[in-house]
Amino acid sequence: MNAKHKRNPGTDLDLDWVFDARVNRSAVERRTATLPARRSVKKEWQAAWLLRSITNIDLTTLAGDDTPGRVRRLCAKARQPLRPDMLARLDLDGQPITVGAVCVYPNRVKDAVEALQGTDIPVASVATGFPAGQTPFPQRNGEIEQAIEAGAKEIDIVIPRNYVLTGNWQGLYDEVKAFRETCGETAHMKTILATGDLATLKQVYQASLVAMMAGSDFIKTSTGKESVNATLEFGLVMVRAIREYYERTGYKVGFKPAGGISKAKQVLAWQAMMKDELGEEWLANDLFRIGASSLLTDVERQLYHYITGHYAARHHMPMG
């Protein structure tokens, strides 16, 4: 992750700030309802936004049947997410367009690192008992060490949701801070809140603040395994916490929605929210990522439609 800003070192835990958090659910819902329609973009502008979105994707496979071959195919797609003929039609022939990262389980990090050799695409690994975070601390912390040793440059940790649900903010802060120390200067850390498992939007806001105070480089909505994953409502609450943290501390923290984002139309709404709430800088992939597996196929189909006027069959744009 080639950040163009100073990395968030974290702060002391400020419980007054956490307890003072307020979220108006109806206002959040009204605001997010306006995003898909009010910020609609068309034609060449839409194509430009979709091209940018490719660079924000953490191309992900987190399945029980992941194999070295499957990871290699995913990495081939990460290296060349658009067909050469499409790049030529878009006047981008020869220009490097790649995804933001490839995200895998710790056991598959070595496969991904080898497949991406010679590129600047980082490998991200989930860790800390993904997706539930219910294993003992030494095991969860050890997963970070193992993933880094295998070559991961980004670590997506999960928080124990019980800390949030019981209001144990000190416990949450201490664990996330310990994970950040294990990541050190070698790997950037994304903290997954598993928003669908939290009880209220206020808890999402509070957990976001604590995760940033503990030194998270990114905060991320979901594991993709919860019954409810990334929603614009969760996202708005989290990016406003990011904005408040930046205003108070001067440190920029990134945002990653993940889980259930599979359509190009969805990603345009997320981009609109980032631009409106945080500004143009937060559209770059050092501050905005999208965790997805099938999204890239739909983005590619929409760009093909822009070029040709009709949609290609999905089998013309395989993942690898």
Catalytic residue at 220? Answer: yes
Catalytic residue at 66? Answer: no
Positive or negative CA dihedral for 241, 39, 1, 192? positive
Catalytic residue at 190? Answer: no
Q: What are phi and psi of 187, to 5 degrees?
A: -135, 140
Token code pair at residue 145: 């060490």
Distance of CA 297 to the CA centre of its chain: 18
- 157 Cβ contact list (under 8 Å, min separation 6): 126, 127, 128, 140, 144, 176, 179, 189, 190, 191, 192
Q: Which helix (H) or strand (E) holds 291?
A: strand 290-292
Token code pair at residue 172: 């949450």
- DSSP-assigned letter for residue 167: T
Which amino acid is residue 160, in one-letter code?
Answer: P
- Pick the catalytic residue from 252, 256, 286, 298: 256
- Pick the catalytic residue from 156, 217, 286, 298: 156
- 240 Cβ contact list (under 8 Å, min separation 6): 205, 277
Helix locations, 184-294, DSSP H:
201-213, 232-249, 264-278
What number of other Cβ atoms are within 10 A of residue 103's Cβ? 32
Letter string b/e over residues 146-168, b meaning 16 or more CB atoms within 10 A of that residue's CB: ebbebbbbbbbbbbbbebbeeee
Residues acting as catalytic residues? 156, 220, 256
